[in-house]
Structure 1
Amino acid sequence: MSTQKSFASSADLGEKQKTLEVLAEGVYALTAEGDPNIGAIEGEDFLVCFEALATPVVAAEWLQELRKHTDKPIRYLVLSHYHAVRVLGASAFGAESIVAHENTYDLILERGKEDWASEFGRMPRLAKGADTVPGLTWPTVTFEDKLTIDLGGDRGDLVLQHFGRGHTEGDVVAWLPKQKILFAGDLVEAEAALYTGDAFHRDWASHTLDAVKALGAEQLVGGRGAVSRGREAVDAAIEQTRRFLTVMIEEVGAVQRDGGTLKDAFEAVHTALYDDFGHWPIFEHCLPFDVSRLWDELSGIERPVIWTAERDREVWNQLQNG
């Protein structure tokens, strides 16, 4: 008799160890054993924060740690993309401006409420203090390709860039060319499973990751996992991410060509990825949603179908507990 798997990360209730790292003077990252990463960059007389976490309560815990290092006011809060566990803590920051790609604004408008319910249902531990979320987070500054922030003094620039479709339609990275430090959002994961339920797998695995790699970062903060330090480690994280995607594309494509089912595709991908990636955080959680989106994409459904709490359960039961 097969064992029923707990839905997504609903049974993952243990606290993760958080680690604040100083990557260079005035450049900070908070990692948390495979939970979402977050960062901050000091300007001469202001702060830029990167990502907002899931709730104001959780964000306030990060800010308490950050304030041990700097008391500068937060001028910009940068959102790498629209997913609820990355953005709904924004009100805790009191930022003058909330910055995101123009597609991220449109995605919040189109599917923000559904994503909120979906993600808090999948990952209840991340949603500590869920009742403190005042509503959807709306960017107040958007851009198309690139936005450069002068950090002042001799700190150089912070360059926000959109390299094309990947994890979502609106992913942006935050690049410090002087320090060669990259905050990659969920475009790169360092030994943490990829969530691709809203992705454009073929674009992501090709020109989008090529552009990220071409920056030549020497330190990289991915969406989850440890900070990658040194060019070799950075490139390894990028190529791990690419391999996860390309194996999925190959396996799902093969099943479709052979006339198989979505369940067949899930089992093929699970088998192909498990030995190398199965021990990574949220692997079992992500894979049903990943394969479902990729199946749609390779079937000609250009944009991701909106995830709802109800659809989440249907896909989970079909693929993980079917």
Structure 2
Amino acid sequence: MAKAFASAGDMEEKKVSFTQVGEGLYAFTAEGDPNTGVIIGDDSVMIVEAQATPRLARKVIDCVRSVTDKPISHVVLTHYHAVRVLGASAYGAREIIMSDTAAAMVEERGQEDWDSEFDRFPRLFQGHEEIPGLTRPTTTFSESMTVYLGKRRVDIMKLGRAHTAGDAVIWVPDQEVMFTGDIVEYHSACYCGDGHFGDWEDTLMNIAAYAPKAIAPGRGDALIGEDMVEKAIAATADFVSSTYKPVAKVVARGGTLKEAWDAVRAECDPKFKDYAIYEHCLPFNVARAYDEARGIDTPRIWTADRDKDMWNQLQA
């Protein structure tokens, strides 16, 4: 029998940190679990990423209430993945914002992703009974939009494909702080199962062009200071490149998915094996890289059954 996914056995509670990354700006982090950002304006609060369930979202709300009693008016979702969006109902926000591409991905593959992630990551879905259904935005944008929380300006933008085709970033210009979603990670593996390897590094460079003084990444510790930001962007680029290039070589010579898996392990294990969720992400990363190297531009939809079929191939 094939081994279970690494994440299926990860049931240990993670330590939560709530770190100030700028004036009125915070990163809720939990040792490699999905992060959430908090932007406090003059009269209300914006949340960036909703968590997987209302139960987890309430942990974020508790942290918000430790620093402000202002109402939560907006939730911005950087992409469509279930662990990021299904807790949105807990915030009671009047607006839920996504890019139009991310919103389309909810309709195209949102339920399949929910079923797939639920099967793979049971700890993150404790309390799933409260989820009212797929999270759909009330507001979408094509390339960019601006929200004013009183006088505080918040820019929400697409800077390129990376973690998904619909990725958004959130820029707070008065503090030069960016919330990047899973485009940038810190000592956590990138999940590339819906990724675009060929675009990811350019998107990272578009982020770097803003010269952020701090970044709240998708996973891992808050990145405070330009040096830490630069190192995290470089490490993310290295992770993506180190995953894709060995696979591209295997595909070029007509090799198998299993050969691609072995090649990535040889390249990435020495550098990234201690990263959070590394073993969880690796099979999905190899499978997506294998598809992209064969010319499949749009990631195939992951389902609970496809997950298992792929994993069985790699364990053979």
TM-score (norm 1): 0.96
In the alignment, is residue 245 of structure 1 matched against residue 245 of structure 2?
Answer: no
Residue matched to 2:210: 215
Give the distance between the partners of 1:98 and 1:208, measured in 2 at CA. Answer: 24
State the match for 2:130 in structure 1. Answer: 132
Q: Counterpart in 2 of 1:203?
A: 199
One of 287, 308, 313 as aligned partner of 1:313: 308
- Within 5 Å, give how 1:1-322 maps onto structure 2: 5-153=3-151, 156-205=152-201, 207-319=202-314, 321-322=315-316
SS at match of 1:164: coil
Q: Distance in 2 between matches of 1:248 and 1:291?
A: 7
Kept in 1, the 8 Å contact 2:22–2:214? The answer is no
* 1:111-145 per-position Cα deviation (integer Å, ceiling 9, x unaligned): 11100000111111011101110000000100011
User: What is the distance in 1 between the residues matched to 2:271 and 2:3?
Assistant: 21
2:8 partner SS: coil
DSSP 3-state at the match of 1:147: strand
Task: Please give the per-residue CA displacement for 1:279-318, whole angstroms capped at 9, x wherever unaligned.
Answer: 1011111011111011111111111110000111111122
SS in 2 for 1:9: helix
Stretches of structure 1 that go unaligned for 5 or more consecutive residues are none
Distance across 1 between alignment mates of 2:135 and 2:61 = 18
Residue 56 (structure 1) shift: 0.6
Supply the distance in 2 between the matched residues of 1:119 and 1:170 (Cα, whole angstroms): 19
What letter matches 2:292 in structure 1?
E
Give the deviation of 1:57 after TM superposition: 1.0
CA RMSD of superposed structures (Å): 1.2
Matching residue's letter, 1:168: T
Cα shift at 1:241: 0.7
The number of residues matched between the two structures is: 316
Q: Distance in 2 between matches of 1:57 and 1:46?
A: 22
Q: CA deviation at 1:23?
A: 2.1
Q: CA deviation at 1:65?
A: 1.9
Structure 2: stretches of 5+ with no match in the other structure: none
**Paired residue secondary structure (2:132):** coil
Shift of 1:4: 5.4
Report the Cα offset of residue 150 of structure 1. 2.1
Q: Identical aligned pairs, as a percentage?
A: 46
Report the TM-score when normalising by structure 2. 0.97
In 2, Cα distance between the equivalents of 1:243 and 1:151? 36
Q: Secondary structure at the match of 1:310?
A: helix
Write the distance in 2 (CA, Å) between the matches of 1:152 and 1:292: 45
- Conservation of the 8 A alpha-carbon contact between 2:248 and 2:289: no
